[in-house]
Structure 1
């Protein structure tokens, strides 16, 4: 048995290379069961564009067809990311999952329920929690009551409320976790952040993860590929964050100069926007020099292909 201080394979690499195997479903089932507070059984890994494995794929995600303790079947998308435009990306990604897995010619009542689980290595907006949950609700403008399903709709959709029909989003911000595990879900968050599992952890799936994701069990070729993957992630993170901060500071200074004429707040906002664009263009140049293609750079930075090629 590996000891508690031994480093384990990062979960993003595991999702991409290891956990798609049926023999290892117990690890993902454990994580999802703890997160969703219901026993999750994986039925299959869905083949789609988001599951394609490419050597230069910077996005680690997997679409999974699952069944919960109430025998409801739906799709869960699990993905990691280090992007700043992520709120729009998860909306696009969920929409894509829905359309990819809706058979042609069927009614809209057959649209799959999608749960988007996002494990984030950056601070997404302002907030002091480390797990956020988002659903869709319709609230009356005048009396503030919530729109509910009729009895017929409940039977048709096999759902209790409207939110059950729409995508749900879980945002796990690893940086906000203070490494104190108060429950079994926290034990999973600890592992996701630190790539270690303590001896006293009892969360579902962690025992299997500790055995399966032991770095020392990798072949030399697997370890080399993994080390390159980790180095690439560190390079991207440091390059992106350093240029982002630099651009923001430069933009504020530029905004203060323009603010004398346009109003200080407006001027700073304009400067920040220009500074951030400059930072992204600098990042794009470095990515090009590192050998990344324009499509991947566009995905990471939000720049257009034209902006990247002219940078």
Structure 2
């Protein structure tokens, strides 16, 4: 039944997705292209030995394409495995073959595990980080419950260590930022205080100069302004 009605099913599901694109107040030209991709674990098309076929709508006599809105792809996994066995696939350079072979490592119908495919893809994964990540997830999903629990325990340990390192980095950063802020505040405070002191000193010198010009003696100027005798002597010489 799967073989007989798969094409009908694909068209049916495609039409539902295509119709759902049209919402209220939308024009038909706003409908988006829908591409149906069917990955099959059985042979469907007897007219070709190719594992990947694609279909569009074409005119019957002149064979020009009617539209790009409708597109169907069929990937027949048994044909893929046959091409692999015959050495016709190059997963090292063919990205599509690489990922389809990953899906075909296990044949659930015959309970077959293709170890040769696994080994080659594992070698490719050493140079393909995305495939390597997929392999890790694949291994996890394929593991027994005990293996998954052990994996999760190891993963938790690694994550805890990484989190502790990151926490230490954040604390160090925050401490540096607090120290910098404190230093800025302390510097501003000292600058203000020094500014006030400098302003007071300049004011005292200005008053002392006026006193000296009016003939007050050095002792009196020292008592009234708080300046040292040396400072007042310098001011007096400048006046003279």
Shorter-chain-normalised TM-score: which range? Answer: 0.3 to 0.5
* Structure with the largest fraction of helix: 2
Higher relative contact order (CA 8 A, sep 6+): 1
TM-score (norm 1): 0.35
